[in-house]
Structure 1
């Protein structure tokens, strides 16, 4: 995920894509919260987004239109189909997202990301195993047995079918195979603990020791080389519009549901990437206020702010 090979001329695009690219990395605890609970307060903000259908989408809608227009001229551009799929996912239109990912998979059938993204779009809000999603995850894993999204949601499907132990075994295997500092590590651990507690399954001593990755870095991952290459087809102005819209929606979700420590960390990092330290400091203050009386969570927020160089973060 290094940006070292990116030319200086494109560095601004790369930094904004650090936010956009977060949308294609799974949010494990969000998936379980949506699939296993009727309590809206338990929903964790997902990098892909969990936007309600009546929530305004702002400039992202314009970006969708522009990507769709490009696809009329170049209908076999798999990168644009993936970007369109992510964009629809961000607005909460999972059906349209699935359609875009289907087309990406048709154009580029040997890309595991196309299949696992399709599977997630289909499975995300369903409380039963969706056969097309299962098939898509199977295709992804045949291409790349380590695809984290496909592995995670295949385990979710086991959980939905009542095989809670099998799901936990699969998630633990994901942790054992995860590279140091994997962006999904903390969420998978949280998922395992949630399911284990609910189902009365003992996982003591079974998970590998946590890696030494930073809390702040894990909050919003950087882009992969392929994601940066895909983003290069989008004019910088459109990238900026997409990012600003995404960050505004994250801030709106946090105002509606402030009990989301990961969300406040993502917002702080987003503001710092966008070179707005004043807004980052305001996000820290709001996050601390949301968890008044919870010293552990406040300590985590302060630690993340310090790592991100948020003004006043060390206080």
Structure 2
């Protein structure tokens, strides 16, 4: 029993040292809520750039989103500056008084509590078992609450395309793939852009444990036909062939994807490693898989675009608008040209005219 009390005294002394040491040193600056908010807004700015690059936002929408996020970031910084200017270090006397209270209260309270509740015969409850539920429920609860509030708001504003897309991504992060699929369906009822369609098909795969579903396959094929440079559509169509045992077909689709992609895209090395890995497993020389004629033609057109002299923004917009008007006039005489409607939809998306782009895509789908 004496050994137990000696052990308790040592543990108490160590605990007091840990508690009192911070009070006798200069307090270090601690991150507060404003730091977290600033980080969130910076991540949102990155998301805007990603959505702009994937075609989910027009140039005007991206500019408006950036302006709003930067306004909030500035407000956070101003709040942080005001808080810093008003903060004052705790007086030494207060720290000394608090140290005295802790030095007396901790050991006395611990001993009194142990004498009242202590039962040394009870087996230990492992720390990992105590922490696991709390860790799992931490940030997830906040995201679920955010998703719930967003869903309630969308019930009042069902035509908010940005809200549905945000809800879909939130559900996807929470691994609520059924909820994400339903949110993407609602978004597609408003705007069936290829980027949204592909994200929806990707969630269908997650619901099917990674398998490309029949509906997803049809979506990927439709998107590749209307946007032959779409990387997700090409990649997942290759994966579909691999899942069905057509290894050469999968490798050819991925070789085509590499062929039609710009050299600087970040995922290109991943696709190349996938090609090498699958070819090695199947005993196929990857050099024997050649790109199709279609992919080579697309690569030539991409090279011309990359080497063309850049035009001023206004001049480029006017050129695209003139091209769209000429193409719309031709389609009035030849309404059965599905590929023409797809090109017109892409032109309207570039101009930020999402409603016209959506109508053109519907016409393209109806003619196929």
Q: Give me the TM-score of the superposition, normalised by structure 1.
A: 0.47
Q: Give me the TM-score of the superposition, normalised by structure 2.
A: 0.41
**Which has the bigger relative contact order, CA under 8 A and spacing at least 6?**
1
The structure that has the greater radius of gyration is 2
